[in-house]
Amino acid sequence: MEKPVTKKTGFRRWSDGGISSYLMLAPFLLLFLMWSVYPVIASLRLSFMRYNAICDPQQAPCGSVGLGNYTTLLFHDPRFIKALTNTSLYVVGAVILGMLASLSLALALQEDTKSNRILRVIFFLPTVTSGIAIVMVWGWVFRGDGVGLLNAIVAKFGVNPIEWLATPSFAIPILIFMSIWGGAGFGMILFLAGLNSIPAMYYEAAVIDGAGPRERFRYITLPLLRPVMVYVLITGIIGAFQIFEGVYLLFPTSVGSIGGLKDMALMLVPYLYDMGFNRFRMGYASAIAWILFFIIFVISYINIKATKSLEDLR
């Protein structure tokens, strides 16, 4: 006997859910295409143009400049180079110290005791607190006059009030400190989840083989934490490259732009904002955005490749 062949018609040919599959996917997909995919493509196109949001894109003074924005940024724009070096220094400091802080906190607070649970909550609080609200308090802590909190502390040691936010060499360390204070608890939670997923029997076996705490940490904990470490590292780098709020509110300049005295705290995203929304150089700002993307992409790629090859080695 032959099986009855049910011929699929209409939308059933492409999907077992019929048209409802498409109806359910459509709201997200259409919004995603309009507000996530199209802007990325448009921004690439803008990055080869001069554009100020009002002019006709085809006519002077707007129009295509080829690679002009990129060559100007990389070779003729000292402010951009300053923003790039500042951001790099900041990212290196914030990510390395931040990872060390997160891992130490996770190890120190891993045991599930009542006091540790309370401590974890305290260290995690900045993650849920409005960044702007906290920046306001930091602004007070680092005030230049005697009213400032940090100056009140150094005054105890006989030091005169210091203009913390107007001393170029302090700018990046202060921003790194703010980043660790605000981010260590988030990394801690990820590391805690990683630590708790390591099976206890590995440690038991190691103890039977005579491994001490140090060996167990070196040869069990660290290797098994590597996936979490890579995740924390990559998300940390991506997040650090996008620093904005602290620079915007703590380091204004007298001429109404961003970056502080001598651009000591100028970073990539604040510079992008300054170019795009203070000066309406939209094409130029898009080129900054693409350089930012390129840097983040290369670093993430190297990270993933490096961990892969490290794993292949063992």
Residues 154-193 close enough to bind another protein by CB under 8 A: 155, 181, 186, 189-190, 192-193
Reported residue count of the chain is 314
Q: Of the candidates 96, 100, 213, 278, which one interacts with another protein according to CB under 8 A?
A: 213
Pinpoint the alpha helices (H) of 142-167. 149-155
| Segment (H or E) for 50 | strand 49-50
In Å, how far are 30, 262, 278, 279, 288 from 255, measured between CA atoms?
42, 12, 11, 12, 22
Nearer to another protein, 51 or 77 (CB): 51
Q: Of the candidates 63, 70, 124, 303, which one interacts with another protein according to CB under 8 A?
A: 124
* CB-count exposure of residue 59 (10 Å: 0-12, 13-18, 19+): exposed
64 binds another protein (CB under 8 A): no
142 binds another protein (CB under 8 A): no
Q: Of the candidates 67, 96, 147, 306, which one interacts with another protein according to CB under 8 A?
A: 147
108 binds another protein (CB under 8 A): yes
**Segment contacting another protein by CB under 8 A, of 60-68, 69-77, 128-136, 259-267:** 128-136
Tokens found for residue 167: 């001393």
Q: Is 252 helix (H, G, I), strand (E, B) or coil?
A: strand
- Shortest distance, position 127 Cβ to another protein, whole Å: 8
100 binds another protein (CB under 8 A): no
Q: Of the candidates 97, 166, 216, 223, which one interacts with another protein according to CB under 8 A?
A: 216
219 binds another protein (CB under 8 A): no
Contacts for 161 with CB less than 8 Å, ≥ 6 apart: 144, 145, 146, 148, 151, 154, 155
Nearer to another protein, 170 or 242 (CB): 242
The residue with tokens 């990872």 is 99
- Shortest distance, position 214 Cβ to another protein, whole Å: 7
128 binds another protein (CB under 8 A): yes
Residues 274-293 that bind another protein (CB under 8 A): 276-277, 282, 285-286, 289-290, 292-293
The 10 Å Cβ neighbour count of residue 47 is 24
Give the C-alpha separation, 153 to 25, whole Å: 58
> 141 with 150: CB under 8 angstroms?
yes
132 binds another protein (CB under 8 A): yes
- Shortest distance, position 250 Cβ to another protein, whole Å: 10
Give the C-alpha separation, 95 to 241, whole Å: 10
Q: Of the candidates 64, 159, 278, 297, which one interacts with another protein according to CB under 8 A?
A: 297
* CB-count exposure of residue 150 (10 Å: 0-12, 13-18, 19+): middle
Q: Of the candidates 199, 298, 310, 311, which one interacts with another protein according to CB under 8 A?
A: 199
In Å, how far are 109, 222, 287 from 127, measured between CA atoms?
17, 25, 31
- Shortest distance, position 92 Cβ to another protein, whole Å: 18
Residues 24-53 that bind another protein (CB under 8 A): 24-25, 27-29, 31-32, 34-40, 42-43, 46, 53
Nearer to another protein, 2 or 92 (CB): 92
Nearer to another protein, 124 or 170 (CB): 124
- Shortest distance, position 215 Cβ to another protein, whole Å: 10
Give the pairing type, strands 63-64 and 49-50. Answer: antiparallel
Beta bridge partners of 49: 64
